[in-house]
A and B are shown apart, each in its own frame.
Chain A
Amino acid sequence: MTQLALVIDLNVCVGCHACVTNCKQWNTSGEAGPLVDENPYGKDPTGTFFNRVQTFEVGEFPHTETVHFPKSCLHCEDPPCVPVCPTGASYKREEDGIVLVDYDKCIGCKYCAWACPYGAREIDEKQKVMKKCTLCVDRIYDESLPEPERKPACVLACPTSARLFGDVHDPESEVSIAIREQGGYPLMPEWGTQPSNHYLPRRKTKMKIHKDELVRVDNPLKKDGHLPKVDENESFLEDSASW
């Protein structure tokens, strides 16, 4: 069975928010739209977004890591938001595991949002229905789009390709390999929700310098006579030896 998901590589995410606004523009005019913005030009502008990037600082100066952290619906294998929905508007698709909301059935009771530990759902304050990431379900199967573009908007936009998209149930998929080989992890595993989206941790490249690498055979200083030379007039062993 297919389970579509995103794998987000924190090792290369620079926190540019491309995924945030590209998602917004695709979806506001898409089948999940419009995504409302309140006070767009006033105090405390706020709107519906399916995906947001946050920033965390880890550790103390000077050993600080700045972590940019994108988060959207994780399309859990066992999504707690689905069974609580009283109308059946929230559901998980059999065929690809995407968790969706049927706007026409949603009564806007927000119970699913309460039931999601990740804060992945947002009510649209004008349409009054619950909205969330659809994995751009209106792109990924759209045969009028060229095949390489049948991906979620955030994935297409991401300049560092920090967002991988694919079937996490297929062990040979790019996402499965990335999870397997690069230590992909789920968020809040303690609740057993089995999020399909995974995150790849920071990885460090270090350089080990061996002492002898600093001593080179063809040191150019030799050519210019600038390696330390011994003054032959100094005191030597033979000055006092009695062999």
Chain B
Amino acid sequence: MHPAFSVIFLTTLIGAGQGLFLALMTVQAYADIGALALPEGSYFGTNSMIALALLVAGLIASFFHLGHPERAWRSAAMWRTSWLSREVIALPIFMGLVFVYGLLHYLGYNPNLFGENAPPQGELTYLVGLLGVVAAFALFICTGMIYGCLKFLQEWNTPLTPINYTLFGIASGFTLATALTAWMAPTLVNFYGGWAIAFTVLAFITRSASLIRNQRIKHRSTLATAIGVRHAQIQQKAQGAMGGSFNTREFFHGKTAAFLKSIKWVFLVLVFPVPVLLLALGLQNNSATLLGLAFAIQYVGLLAERWFFFAQAKHPQNLYYQTI
């Protein structure tokens, strides 16, 4: 597949936004059971707005993917069958919840719906946040399933696809949270940093699993099934359009195999070991800069990962275009 940068930015940006929000809710949940002290002041409000900003940026990026962005509203229509439609619904709901969550925190409006003496889990921010968590995971699944549901794109058609999307989003979100917290609430840095490292390691495991899986894929379609001629030696001589076509542009990454391989190593290095190392160093040295760098590098790595995710997928239609 041809990696579409609008989609690469969409998925990485909203993933980080979702992850950041989940990081906030994790702190709130821990705090509510007394495992942590709640950070002071505008911490939640500011970070929620940062998460929202990432989501908005992702949404804006997605519009560049559309031929007719002005009709984007139509795309919620087919939620019964289309994961894309579901994503289109889940994203604004989630954004709304993040906004409300952040706003409530900012305004300090946080009544306990179950009475003043009820446990903190009954507080409005907590409940809104809980809904946000559900929406965030729903969104991860929708996004992942957009790709995971295409059964003949065998590289994508695995539960690992939504799992990877989820873990990458969470890992990058926690890494970001670590960096942001270093500025705003240094006491929580180790908490976030630990989770960030854990999720990054987890993502490494699942992504490695998908890489190994994809390396072993035996593609079900062959040139023989594509044209229905059973013969061991079939060579294409003409593709029907010498100047190229949508089919030759949309489904091919257009780069060499060596380039593809190098991108794999780029993301394997930038997403996993480097951020983990920087996180560890940052935590050790209390360096917000290093932690910020950890996020930045991981994000760049995720861009490469997403590029590779697309480029590695071999669309069966490419069988009809053998001489690209």
**Chain A interfacial positions (CB closer than 8 Å to B):** 20, 39, 43-49, 52-60, 65-67, 69, 71, 80, 82-89, 105-111, 113-119, 121-123, 125, 127-129, 185-191, 199, 201
Given contacts A109-B65, A189-B225, contact A58 B75 (CB under 8 A): no
**Is the beta-carbon distance between B240 and A53 smaller than 8 angstroms?**
yes
Q: What residues on A are CB-neighbors of B244 within 8 Å?
A: 44, 46
Q: What residues on A are CB-neighbors of B69 within 8 Å?
A: 107
Segment of B53-61, B150-158, B165-173, B176-184 in the binding face = B150-158
Q: What residues on A are CB-neighbors of B225 within 8 Å?
A: 187-190
Question: Could you list 15 examples of A-B contacts with CB < 8 Å?
Answer: A55-B237, A56-B237, A57-B235, A67-B229, A80-B151, A84-B82, A85-B84, A111-B84, A125-B246, A127-B67, A187-B225, A187-B227, A188-B226, A191-B221, A191-B316
Distance (whole angstroms) from the CB of A108 to the closest CB of chain B? 2
Within 8 A of A (CB), among B29-75: 65-69, 71-72, 74-75
Distance (whole angstroms) from the CB of A133 to the closest CB of chain B? 14
**Is the beta-carbon distance between B71 and A52 smaller than 8 angstroms?**
no
| Most chain B Cβ neighbours within 10 Å, of A54, A82, A87, A199 | A87
Given contacts A56-B229, A117-B316, A119-B251, contact A84 B83 (CB under 8 A): yes
Within 8 A of A (CB), among B125-183: 146, 149-153
**Is the beta-carbon distance between B78 and A87 smaller than 8 angstroms?**
yes
Q: What residues on B are CB-neighbors of A48 within 8 Å?
A: 246
Distance (whole angstroms) from the CB of A48 to the closest CB of chain B? 7
Q: What residues on A are CB-neighbors of B223 within 8 Å?
A: 56
Q: What residues on A are CB-neighbors of B153 within 8 Å?
A: 114
A58's partner among B88, B152, B231, B320 (CB-CB below 8 A) is B231
Q: What residues on B are CB-neighbors of A65 within 8 Å?
A: 229
The A/B interface has a contact count, at CB < 8 Å, of 177
**Is the beta-carbon distance between A54 and B239 smaller than 8 angstroms?**
yes
Distance (whole angstroms) from the CB of B229 to the closest CB of chain A? 6
The 5 A-B residue pairs with the shortest CB-CB distance, nearest first, are: A108-B67, A128-B67, A119-B317, A52-B240, A83-B81
Q: What residues on A are CB-neighbors of B315 within 8 Å?
A: 114, 117, 119
B281 lies within 8 A of chain A by Cβ: no
Q: Which residue of A lies closest to B87 (CB)?
A: A86
| Most chain A Cβ neighbours within 10 Å, of B1, B228, B247, B317 | B228
**Is the beta-carbon distance between B66 and A108 smaller than 8 angstroms?**
yes
A190's partner among B83, B220, B240, B251 (CB-CB below 8 A) is B220
For chain B, the bracket of interface size reads 35 or more
**Is the beta-carbon distance between A107 and B75 smaller than 8 angstroms?**
yes
Q: Which residue of A lies closest to B84 (CB)?
A: A86
Q: Which residue of B lies closest to A189 (CB)?
A: B225
Within 8 A of A (CB), among B231-257: 231, 233-241, 243-247, 250-251
Distance (whole angstroms) from the CB of A203 to the closest CB of chain B? 13
Bound CA span A106–B67, Å: 8
**Is the beta-carbon distance between B236 and A122 smaller than 8 angstroms?**
no
Bound CA span A187–B226, Å: 5
Distance (whole angstroms) from the CB of B30 to the closest CB of chain A? 37
**Is the beta-carbon distance between B239 and A123 smaller than 8 angstroms?**
no
B274 lies within 8 A of chain A by Cβ: no
Q: What residues on B are CB-neighbors of A54 within 8 Å?
A: 236, 238-240, 320
Bound CA span A201–B227, Å: 10
Q: What residues on B are CB-neighbors of A129 within 8 Å?
A: 67-68
Interface 0/1 of B1-21, CB less than 8 Å to A? 100000000000000000000
| Most chain A Cβ neighbours within 10 Å, of B76, B223, B237 | B237
**Is the beta-carbon distance between A59 and B246 smaller than 8 angstroms?**
no
Bound CA span A116–B146, Å: 14
Q: What residues on B are CB-neighbors of A46 within 8 Å?
A: 241, 243-245
